[in-house]
Chain A
């Protein structure tokens, strides 16, 4: 090839499309919608478990919540004259909807989902200025709001499809006794309801001291057979919280994708286990075993997906540990001595309120500064 041909083939830039901007000139491929999407992917096992155990009821609640949340977001943006699509696109409303659904009983009527969606998106998020500005976890704001406003609807739990009306273990305690008698008599009650393990614990009279009677106080709900069922998800409760197995798979996904700080679920669950463990050791008639506490209620859902919400949790590792331990203590106290059977939502919301303070206390020392003594 002669020099001439090389010259003619040489393509030189014109330089009329050069963009001028500040460094850095390369960016990570990660984006807010991608983060939200990945969290939703990590929730897929819990969704599948919810559908397996609660059937089409679960599908209905999930679809309602997501549609209503996205709708509430769109409506707010329309009214506030914000770009609607730009806000929907970040997928945070859809994620809030999914989390809200997973925090509801599969048996809730559609209007609970509708009110919940508006509570979550409007009161939980948009009044503060939208994504990133909300101090409280929107899905939990909705859940607690609903719990206070519509206590009956929110605490009517449906049995899972796998419990089986002939399962004697469940028959002993979980089903509503009237309904159970109708069932045994061969009649089909209009709707079946069942209690949650924590609900049964709350209604079981406490036995003080460390006597054999105290040790057997919770034997009906706290035994190895039942714990295995709880772990798999075969228990009453919110549709997304029942399966510890599915939630743990989600946790592994989130930690591998570096979307959550592993210290939060570990410290949260660890604190609950330690706290309830100590109380149980000295007073077994006051609260069940730590493993029971870990596997029941919304602890795993809360510790893995709600307390780790980026917007409403502390930014530093030290802050995350303080936050998670606080959540664990409050959850345990409410479960053991409070009026409500479950304390996960309250504890996370309470600690959410402390996040600005925690962030202030737990600042990292900038590089090159010497620790002040005294």
Chain B
């Protein structure tokens, strides 16, 4: 198929960050990171209850062996990234700046799989069996949210699901991990889509991909028919991959305010998550590795690697040839919604889509000035809010006004703060305002 035969879908609002940095790593094929001597697997990696560790120091584990049990329904197990010995349960630097518990495993170099569950034929297996396999494999949303996938695949019976949408938008600047995955392994993505579709009993399965990834779209299109999956081209616009915006772009349905995608009859999964589901079902492999983009102007050889969970960021930087200058900022995730880090000892987790090192000249500390009411934030807001007015209300501690003006609907995509010529720290204000409103709601 030479010509794009579909229309390009999109949403209202958003921004188009100039110089999106994707060209740094989009041409680099995914490499497999060499086996490390040691991995530190962070325990709380998922939204919901943290898993409960079931190994003790000194215990020998095989690759893929369960090292932590789910801590509840909204939780997932963790698996050993390689075979070796559990050295310690210790606190390590976490991605949010506070220490988090982790399991330290020293590799024995064998990298030997433990006993894996048998491969399944997804076309004939019972949907509940498939779902159980996904839950047992520790799969969470790998786009960033880290929400347990099996929970998303268990909508309450009164919610009729009409659409399964795979998010291949990858609208965050710099990140190319999903792009390379779709390009290099489209069948895993498509099989994962079909598996999730079977679990949900959904016939309308779409993969949305921004049209700056034409090669990935072609790769998916070539195989999509066999899996009953449709590919939708999306306009290159941030935050095209935000759940509600993606649903609107593809189905024209609006998720009601305060609601979940299932309230609009939709389930959204990241393409990386789908590929992990395929690995779990077709090969019995639990989620112990992921593709992560290591990039940024400060990285010598930006690229995409398949890392085991628990690989330190420092190792990832080493594999990418080190740095060209002392970085001014290290970010886990993309530049729009990622988290700034103070240490390279943080390890790669299930939702680490990117490691981004920016040179100091790109890390200007902006001094914010007064709002000049230019209205750019209003047109950028994907949720149709008035970010400037909300921030002003929060600045003057008028949280009830902020709440009445739908602060809680903000998705913190950062488009408003990106576009603000007065460099107001809008998203920071919103986080503060939301926290305050939640605190007050709890009190009453």
Check B417 against A17 for contact (C-beta < 8 Å). Answer: no
Contacts of B257 in A (CB 8 A): 366-369
Check B384 against A365 for contact (C-beta < 8 Å). Answer: yes
Q: Which of A25, A35, A368 contacts B255 (CB 8 A)?
A: A368
A25-B335, A27-B366 known; A12+B388 contact, CB < 8 A? no
Q: How far is the CA of A29 from the CA of B370 in the complex (A)?
A: 17
Shortest beta-carbon distance from A279 to chain B in Å: 33
Q: How far is the CA of A28 from the CA of B343 in the complex (A)?
A: 27
Shortest beta-carbon distance from B386 to chain A in Å: 7
A18-B329, A310-B375 known; A367+B427 contact, CB < 8 A? no
Q: How many B residues have CB within 8 A of the partner chain?
A: 77
A133 adjacent to chain B (CB < 8 Å): yes
B residues 6-38 touching A (CB-CB < 8 Å): 12, 15, 17-18
B324 adjacent to chain A (CB < 8 Å): yes
Contacts of A13 in B (CB 8 A): 298, 317, 322-323, 326-327, 330, 344, 357
Contacts of A363 in B (CB 8 A): 386
Chain A, residues 296-317, CB within 8 Å of chain B (1/0): the string is 0000000000000011110110
Q: How many A residues have CB within 8 A of the partner chain?
A: 46
Most buried by A among B15, B362, B418, B425: B418
Shortest beta-carbon distance from B418 to chain A in Å: 5
Q: How far is the CA of A100 from the CA of B384 in the complex (A)?
A: 36
Contacts of B374 in A (CB 8 A): 35, 310
Q: Which of B255, B373, B412 contacts A310 (CB 8 A)?
A: B373
A26 adjacent to chain B (CB < 8 Å): yes
Contacts of B15 in A (CB 8 A): 28
B residues 387-444 touching A (CB-CB < 8 Å): 388, 406, 409, 412, 414, 417-423, 425, 427-428, 431
Shortest beta-carbon distance from A255 to chain B in Å: 14
In the complex, number of A-B residue pairs with CB atoms less than 8 Å apart: 177
The DSSP consensus for interface residues of chain A is loop
Q: Which of A11, A17, A24, A313 contacts B337 (CB 8 A)?
A: A24
Contacts of B431 in A (CB 8 A): 22
Contacts of B18 in A (CB 8 A): 28-29
The DSSP consensus for interface residues of chain B is loop
Contacts of A28 in B (CB 8 A): 15, 17-18, 418-421
A35-B372, A368-B259, A369-B257 known; A18+B335 contact, CB < 8 A? no
Contacts of B336 in A (CB 8 A): 23-26
Q: Which of B173, B321, B324, B373 contacts A132 (CB 8 A)?
A: B373
Chain A, residues 128-150, CB within 8 Å of chain B (1/0): the string is 01111100000000000000000
Q: Which of B300, B314, B331, B423 contacts A25 (CB 8 A)?
A: B331
B237 adjacent to chain A (CB < 8 Å): no
Contacts of B371 in A (CB 8 A): 132
Chain B residue with the shortest CB-CB distance to A17? B326
Chain B contact residues, CB within 8 Å of chain A: 12, 15, 17-18, 97, 173, 244, 248, 254-259, 298, 300, 314, 317-318, 321-324, 326-331, 335-344, 356-358, 360, 362-366, 369-375, 378, 382-386, 388, 406, 409, 412, 414, 417-423, 425, 427-428, 431
